[in-house]
Amino acid sequence: MGSTNPFSLKAEPVENLRPLKVRVIGAGYSGIYLGIRIPQRLRNIDLQIYEKNSGIGGTWWENRYPGCACDIPAHSYQYSFAGNPNWSAFYAPAEEICAYLQSVAEKYGVARYVKLSRKVTSCRWNDGAKKWEITVEDTTTGQVVKDDADVLISARGNLNDISWPNIHGLDSFKGELMHSAAWNQRYDFTNKKVGVIGGGSSAIQIVPSLQKLEGIQMTCFVRSRTWISNPFGDSAMVKLGLDPEKLDFSPEQREEFNTDPEKYLQFRKAIEVDGNTIHGITFKDSNAQKGAEVAFRTMMQERLSRKPEICDVLLPTFAVGCRRLTPGPGYLEALVEDNVELVSDKIASINEKCVVLENGREVQLDALVCATGFNASSPPPFHVYGKNGCALQQRFRPHPETYLAIAVDGFPNFFMMLGPNSAIGSGSLTMMIETEGDYIVKCIRKLQKEDYASMMPRADRVRDFSEYCHEYFKKTVYMDECNSWYRSEGGKGDRVTGLWPGSTLHCLESLRAPRWEDFEYETKD
């Protein structure tokens, strides 16, 4: 019988477990999880986590634009074992999430494994030694260090390779130019003419925050339509007597969550149940999809009633959820303000001072914000060479293929957290992260206990999963007529490579117990 305490360690004799070197790339939600679980569940592991930034927290360390918050209810965007009754708002701000991650890392002693300002530039599998050879750059000194590992885990996140818009003349702009994920905190936007390119989740958070600044004049360049949803988890809020319009928790509510665990658990449960019902929306022509379309259309029309012409260019013709849904508190309200103009005409070029539209109009600007997202379907931004020197970049052409989003044939002892096909458009990403991490821990335990030098998924199993994904997504809204980072080839491809093919619960069940027969193994010589 196992212990009911998830943190307890079974009393395994240490000498039974082969020592292994494990290297993790990235100290965001995924890497921190591994920094907790690997030492808890395994013995004789030499663990190191390389983080390119000078602080831990991953995307929540990097993204610091005004209004940056998680648009998923904070209580379902946390580790299952580290519930935080103190979130200040239903959608927690980025700084607060980053501080939460740092506090969890500190509590569980993760920092001792993390090497900050270390950028992994290359990983090469040495078939003779059956080890990964890793090249790491110290970003503060430029010094290059060599390391090796039995097991390599990419926990790099998939939304950090910045995508600048491909617009002629962008480099010639002489005003302040910044990307949403590389914000210049020193720039003062007050009394400025500011352009924002993009209508995705980042722009939707940036626009209402900037719009309130004194003297600002904004032009939002939005070339594609987008669905704005009701707040995720709104029925959970209503059930508990909270007002979905008021997203901050009062001191009394936080006090209640702290002093009444029952109430807190009830609240978390209600959010989870609410989240699970969203999954129905992702199926084409489902009743949930039809219902959501009517509800969101009506809601958007109401909120845009001061400038109904915006509906003509913003209300989508594609299915709800095809591209990422955003609740966007305050976005539609900001678009109807007098100091904001929404421009849907395509941008032709950019010069020193202006964005030039295809219709010839020039929009003069002091600052231009590119909220133009990330190259999400690309392989990691460091080189990974597997067996016979095969590059992961090559293996992922024409589109990424994996075994259960976690491993790839030809790449022994290489595992991915949030790799291709592992995000979720309708549920809790943090639960997926924990599930993937637990699966990888089981694989490492197998290598250790059964004394295998390496394991990797069989090619036919990878093909099966890839075909399963392809068939699954045909039934969903994700293949409808929209651009989204969920899809291959920069958003327009015929494969959905960003998302797990199913619900969060489906992922949890699929990864609960590894099918060891789907892997091939090598022993030490």
Q: Which parts of this chain interact with ligand N01 (CB under 6 A)? A: 70-72, 159, 165-167, 180, 197-203, 205, 221, 223-224, 324, 347, 371-374, 483, 485, 491
Q: What are φ and ψ of residue 96, in 5° steps?
A: -70, -40
CB 477 within 8 A of CB 320: yes
Q: 329 vs 410, which CB is nearer to ligand N01?
A: 329
Q: List, in sequence order, every beta strand (DSSP E) within 14-103.
A: 20-25, 45-50
Residue 116 contacts residue 79 (beta carbons within 8 Å): no
Could you tell me whether strands 414-416 and 383-385 are parallel, antiparallel, or unpaired per DSSP bridges?
unpaired
Angle at 479 between CA 476 and CA 485, to 5 degrees: 115
The least CB distance from residue 519 to ligand N01, in Å, is 31
Nearest distance from C-beta of residue 117 to ligand N01, angstroms: 24
CB of 184 to ligand N01, least distance (A): 17
Give the residues across from 342 on adjacent strands.
Answer: 220
| Cβ nearer to ligand N01, comparing 136 with 159 | 159
Q: Measured from the CB of residue 163, what is the shortest distance to ligand N01 in angstroms?
A: 7
CB 168, min distance to ligand N01, A: 10
| Four-residue CA torsion sign, 464, 468, 471, 477 | negative
Closer to ligand N01 by Cβ: residue 278 or 347? 347
CA-CA distances (angstroms) from residue 506 to 115, 225, 435? Answer: 34, 30, 11
Candidates 144, 165, 175; CA nearest to 50 is 144
Task: CB nearer to ligand N01: give 48 or 160.
Answer: 160
* Nearest CB to ligand N01, comparing residues 134 and 418: 418
Phi, then psi, of 309 in degrees rounded to 5? -65, -25
Tokens of 452: 């295998």
- For residues 410 and 501, which CB has a smaller minimum distance to ligand N01 in the complex? 501
Distance CA 114, CA 30 (A): 13
Q: Which is nearer to ligand N01, 60 or 403 (CB)?
A: 60
CB 77 → ligand N01: shortest distance, Å?
Answer: 8
Q: Which residues have C-beta within 8 Å of that of residue 184, sequence separation ≥ 6?
A: 176, 178
DSSP per-residue string spanning 136-175: EEETTT--EEEEEESEEEE---SS-SB-----TTGGG--S
Nearer to ligand N01, 198 or 233 (CB): 198
* Alpha helices, DSSP H, located in 212-330: 234-239, 251-259, 261-278, 287-303, 309-314
> What secondary structure letter does DSSP report for 499?
B
In the complex, the smallest distance separating the C-beta of residue 421 from ligand N01, rounded to whole angstroms, is 14
Rounded to the nearest whole angstrom, what is the least distance from the CB of residue 146 to ligand N01 in the complex?
A: 34
Closest CB to ligand N01 among residues 22, 159: 159
Q: What is the dihedral of CA 463, 467, 472, 475, to 10 degrees?
A: 160
Q: Cβ of residue 33: shortest distance to ligand N01, in angstroms?
A: 17
Which of residues 83 and 165 has its CB atom nearest to ligand N01 in the complex?
Answer: 165
Cβ at position 70, least distance to ligand N01 in Å: 5
